[in-house]
A = this chain, B = another copy of it.
Amino acid sequence: MRSDGRVNNELRPIKITPHYIKHAEGSVLIEVGDTKVICTATIEERVPPFMKGQGKGWVTAEYSMLPRSTQVRNQRESAKGKLGGRTMEIQRLIGRALRAVVDLEALGERSVTLDCDVIQADGGTRTSAITGAFVAMVFALNKLANDKHMAKFPVTDFLASVSVGVIADTARLDLHYHEDSQAKVDMNVVMTGEGQFVEVQGTGEEAPFSRKELDELLALAETGIQQMIEEQRKVLGPISERIRGAHHAVKG
């Protein structure tokens, strides 16, 4: 049994509080166990220079941890004067993952910026950020679609993410911080509502891993992600239908 009493294929409790920040076009506070992330979605009527004039939109993300979201205070990157490698890696991952379920042509020449700010960290901050940012983005695009009478809803499928890992030769779902620091293998998986992979990132931190271990981890991840998508559906309520509609339009 795990230190917090869960069995190996069990997620931590998830809570998604919608409309958490009043100024943002879409926002949530996502809590996965003791990990808490504020996700906001900002829509702007412009795209980055490299996308101009293509009639398509762009989705990008930024990620940060408050200094005292962690057990030991971490120095602000604004004070250091630059972003660390871990931050860059994570915000590139979040943006890339979300773009996989956005129809950039349907979005038009607009950008969606997802700000994921970890206010309390206990493992799985990047996967929680993806799961939460998806909901914030859908709220914002739903509002946009209403305001602009968009013909096609630009989100084509659900998307969520979870971490899995091997601790003491056992594959486990949704590692908390203490487990994460002991894991021999650590994997982050992003999947769609339809059960396809968007990202698979597995690392043998301590030792290489076998094909058999890889297969076990992927199966666990799939289970966890589908439960997370259920939570997203509940929070989104009737807006979920718009995603289903867009999905059918694309996939037939």
Contacts and interface: CB of A to CB of B under 8 A. Distances in A.
A201 B204 contact: no
Interface residues of A, number: 65
A180 interface: no
A211 to B, nearest CB: 7
Given A68-B115, A83-B79, A92-B89, A200 B201 contact: yes
A40 interface: yes
B211 A204 contact: no
Contacts of A174: none
Contacts of A22: 34, 120
A113 interface: yes
A73 B21 contact: no
A82 B83 CA distance: 9
A3 interface: no
B38 A119 contact: yes
Contact of A78 (B34, B76, B203): B76
A231 interface: no
A100 interface: yes
B208 A68 contact: no
A158 to B, nearest CB: 11
A69 B83 CA distance: 21
A200 B187 CA distance: 9
